Structure 1
Amino acid sequence: MKRAALWLVEVVGVGGVFTKEDLRQAFPGVSQIDRRMRDLRDFGWVIHTNREADDLDPFEQRFVERGDPVWEPGRGTRAKGTIAIGAGKRRETISGDGNMCRSCGITPGAEYDDTRDTAQLDIARRRVRRPDGTEEIELVTECQRCRLGGRQLVVDVGDVVRFVERLSEQDRLVLAGWIAADERDFRPAERAWSRYRALPADSRAEVRSALGL
């Protein structure tokens, strides 16, 4: 991983694009070098694939931002509590999260309402503060949009109007009230549901236990 970090800095350069084949040629005989490269993200390194950047091909990656200098003594060790995400852990997490993004509820391959982009699920590390004040890192499933904070989108106002026109009369009256007030009041249970849905699996289990479920 440390050698891969130095290769990114000295050979690829910030903003540079490389492929898995470039990586393998740079480190012949090193097993799972692409996984070791991904481990840099735990140390603040930003490396995009075509999930994060539309202009990249599926086999390309871009070195976006340098993180901690992991090659320095004492800097290449994961923080206590950091969870390594292998293929098995990834499958376990997504399955435990109901095979959907816990932030917005979209499922893999489903289209976002405002575009024809389809969702891909990824794993995020979430810092969780327990009732006793201790903190832990847990894994939670998110789609690429929620994890990255969204992309620049072109909003189709006509599509929004058509959607509103298809609402029932009762729903249109409710919507009109929210629009007139320029806000919507959520009931306490709705706010609690929103917060619960975004929790990692272990934390959701703790809330269910508190409710006696």
Structure 2
Amino acid sequence: MVPSWRDDSLGTMKRVALWLVAEVGEGGTFTKERLRGEFPGVSQVDRRMRDLRDFGWRIDTNREDAGLDSHEQRFVERGDPVWEPGRATRKTGTTAIGAGRRREVLQKDGHMCRSCGITPGEFYAGTYEGAQLDIARRDVVKPDGTKASELITECKRCRIGGKSVTADLDRVLKETAALSSTERDVLSDWVANDQRQFSRLEQVWSEYRSLPEDSRRRLRAELGLD
């Protein structure tokens, strides 16, 4: 039998998990104000809720779900039943990312999104929306076939769209080994500068790929393809 979230003998994290299941429901939204109102006098209830992510609970903010307001959160998916005996032991490698570690990752990533290259405050092309950077966890396939979770800097847009992305280091290393000496020299220059200059042709191709279908059709007609 699932205990009640109102049971004061349970720890705060367990009570919050039970409250999410009983009162919010998967897919439901709530605010920090509502959460704090349900647990009056309980210190750090926000942090205890965030701790649930270490046990497979998915609770999105507007960083992951652009449809949410800044004060809203969504209970997306239930994880481990932490209220059961022995299920609330923190798992290895899933500790929260501290401020110092965040600064270190940002610095090593050049303070830019490693998926699209945008920098903090820079406007997305064709918009007045400034980019916000955050630290995400990304699965990486190692050369021996094992998978590890590593930290990476991503912007809000890429973080939302890349939840299921897995990086394959083994494939990248093998493809690099297959390059010609000239290609390796070019790649070495890009890696050393952490930057690649795209040609005008490549930039037009990239912009074409981002156009809606009606606009893509216009360019195809311009090229005599339709």
Sort the TM-score into its range (normalised by shorter chain). 0.5 to 0.7
* Residue in 2 that maps onto 1:84: 96
Q: Secondary structure at the match of 2:82?
A: coil
Match of 2:44 among 17, 32, 38: 32
TM alignment of 1:77-156, pairs within 5 A: 77-113=89-125, 115-128=127-140, 136-149=148-161
Q: Note the alpha carbon deviations across 1:17-60, whole angstroms, 9 max, x for none.
A: 21111111222233322122122222222222222333422111
TM-score, normalised via structure 2 length = 0.58
* Residue in 2 that maps onto 1:163: none
The 2-side partners of 1:21 and 1:107 are apart by 32
Quick one: structure 1 residues 62 and 78, their matched pair in 2 at CA, closer, same or farther if it must change by over 3 Å?
same
Query: Could you tell me which amino acid in structure 2 is paired with residue 90 of structure 1?
Result: R
The 2-side partners of 1:15 and 1:105 are apart by 32
Structure 1 unpaired stretches of 5+ = 151-186, 198-213
TM-superposed deviation, 1:131: 6.0
Quick one: structure 1 residues 125 and 36, their matched pair in 2 at CA, closer, same or farther if it must change by over 3 Å?
same
The 1-side partners of 2:27 and 2:143 are apart by 42
TM alignment of 1:149-164, pairs within 5 A: 149=161
The 2-side partners of 1:116 and 1:101 are apart by 18
Q: Secondary structure at the match of 1:54?
A: coil
* Residue in 1 that maps onto 2:177: none
The 2-side partners of 1:62 and 1:191 are apart by 43
The 1-side partners of 2:148 and 2:106 are apart by 19
TM alignment of 1:1-213, pairs within 5 A: 1-113=13-125, 115-128=127-140, 136-149=148-161, 187=183, 190=187
Q: Secondary structure at the match of 1:79?
A: coil
TM-score, normalised via structure 1 length = 0.61
Q: Note the alpha carbon deviations across 1:81-125, whole angstroms, 9 max, x for none.
A: 223213343233223322211222211221222544322111112
TM-superposed deviation, 1:128: 4.6
Q: Note the alpha carbon deviations across 1:166-205, whole angstroms, 9 max, x for none.
A: xxxxxxxxxxxxxxxxxxxxx55549968xx7xxxxxxxx
Q: Secondary structure at the match of 2:116?
A: coil
The 2-side partners of 1:61 and 1:85 are apart by 20
- Farther off after superposition, 102-111 or 80-89: 80-89
- The RMSD of aligned alpha carbons is 3.2
Q: Secondary structure at the match of 1:93?
A: helix
Quick one: structure 1 residues 95 and 28, their matched pair in 2 at CA, closer, same or farther if it must change by over 3 Å?
farther
TM-superposed deviation, 1:68: 2.2
- Structure having the higher Rg: 2
Structure 2 unpaired stretches of 5+ = 1-12, 163-182, 195-226
Q: Could you tell me the percent identity over the aligned residues?
A: 69
Q: Note the alpha carbon deviations across 1:55-83, whole angstroms, 9 max, x for none.
A: 42211112122222222223222322223
The 1-side partners of 2:46 and 2:190 are apart by 38
* Residue in 1 that maps onto 2:180: none
